Amino acid sequence: GLFHVRISAMEGDGEDVVMLVVKNADGTTPDLELQAIPLEGNTVRCVKEMVCSGYESHPHPSQLKLVFSGRLLKDDEQLFDLLQTHDLSHPVIVHVLVRAATDPVTPSPTPSPTQHPSRGNSAATPSPRPPRAPSS
């Protein structure tokens, strides 16, 4: 079945991929260009993950809100459904809002293992050899 899908995508002659230009609402983050995104099988969630890996701050996909044609996109929406009526020869502009990671779910300032360098130092000085004694 997979082979058949690949052929039908090729028959579209490159029209089944889209270039997304992601504009950040904060006005300071440079636009992110996502080239040749296949419409088939990609959801809004997939796009969010691409945006996250493209941003230097690497936000979590749950922090992103994607807005397209003035409406908020849901994670499970298919790109094919959103863009099938679009002229895919032009880049499609999507606006993104990144919420600050103020979720109390992940309190990051608690790296307990690294807070005790004294313990780590004693292990770091290697003293496996016993003091040199004449071998009997």
**Does CATH place domain 2-101 in 3.10.20.90?**
yes
Torsion over CA: 73, 75, 78, 79 (sign): positive
What integer is the mean pLDDT of 48-67? 95
Measured between alpha carbons, how far is 32 from 111 in angstroms, rounded to an integer?
32
The two structure tokens encoding residue 122: 């004693």
Task: Write out pLDDT tens, residues 4-51.
Answer: 444 444 444 545 899 999 999 998 999 999 999 999 999 999 999 999
For residue 75, give the nearest of 57, 55, 52 by alpha carbon.
Answer: 52
Q: Hey, where are the domains in the chain?
A: 2-101
More confident residue, 100 or 62: 62
Task: Write out pLDDT tens, residues 84-103.
Answer: 888 888 999 999 999 987 65
